[in-house]
Structure 1
């Protein structure tokens, strides 16, 4: 029974990774791509680590998987935020459908070039 649950988690994680990869190719600009990669790839990695933890059934594997999950949960939003700020600061073009730019004029604390 545990093998079936682990297989389901592994396949689910793989599908989320596939969605992230497709989103990287199909979406129009860096902001939408970043959103797809951050959300889907993080969840995919967490599901895959849960699958590995179920298969091996050892405390050390559970602890390592938990440490990686915590690392992904804490670093993915920070990395996404920093990529968005860098893209905005360098003037990356936005795709169609953007109504307003809430970051316009808020980069005043950075040195002007």
Structure 2
């Protein structure tokens, strides 16, 4: 169950990271409220996952999911650069996440 909590926490981390772009410096009420709610849910789910997972593994996987998801959505939603080097680095993060999952 901890890995499910962790995966969900990572998805909510993506939500708040992308949400920050839509808050316009926290000047827009609805995007700001949704972003703060995503932050809270993400951290609560991370806390639940860390009850049984090693803190280093849990935190690294959480940030890795957030990093990869945010980078990919940035490419898709905001036309962030998608060159080969950047995509290769995203791939390395995915390999690291999978390695931590398999080692735990």
In which range does the TM-score fall when normalised by the shorter chain? 0.3 to 0.5
- Greater CA radius of gyration, 1 or 2? 1
Provide the TM-score with structure 2 as the length reference. Answer: 0.41
With normalisation by structure 1, the TM-score equals: 0.39
- Indicate the structure with greater helix content: 2
